[in-house]
């Protein structure tokens, strides 16, 4: 093999290594995002169950100023 082929092989290995590492990092970020979305959905559901405005009921009237 000549020097150019060796350099190309080395670059290819480096690119594959980067692709594998970044692919794993992206998967981890996707899992974290899914977890955050699920937590947000649970929080919204809990709020809707306890907050009358989010249940479609009218908001309580403000006390009259004297």
Per-residue pLDDT reduced to its tens digit, 34-54 = 999 999 999 988 887 787 666
Count the residues in the chain: 66
At 15-39, the pLDDT tens digits run 999 999 999 999 999 999 999 999 9
The yes-or-no verdict on residue 58 having pLDDT over 90 is no
Q: Considering only CA atoms, which of 3, 60, 41 is closest in space to residue 49?
A: 41
What's the pTM value of the predicted model, to 2 decimals?
0.55
Residues 6+ apart with CB under 8 A from 53: 59
The residue that leads in pLDDT, 17 or 1, is 17
The first and second tokens of residue 48, run together, are 């809707």
CA dihedral (7, 10, 16, 22) in degrees, to 10, reads -100
Q: Which of 45, 65, 48 is nearest to 57 (CA)?
A: 48
């Amino acid at each position: 093999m000549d020097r150019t082929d060796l350099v190309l092989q080395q670059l290819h290995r480096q690119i594959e290594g980067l692709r594998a590492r970044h692919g794993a990092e992206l998967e981890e970020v996707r899992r974290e995002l899914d977890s955050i979305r699920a937590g947000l959905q649970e929080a919204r559901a809990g709020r809707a169950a306890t907050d009358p405005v989010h249940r479609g009921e009218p908001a309580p009237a403000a006390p009259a100023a004297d």
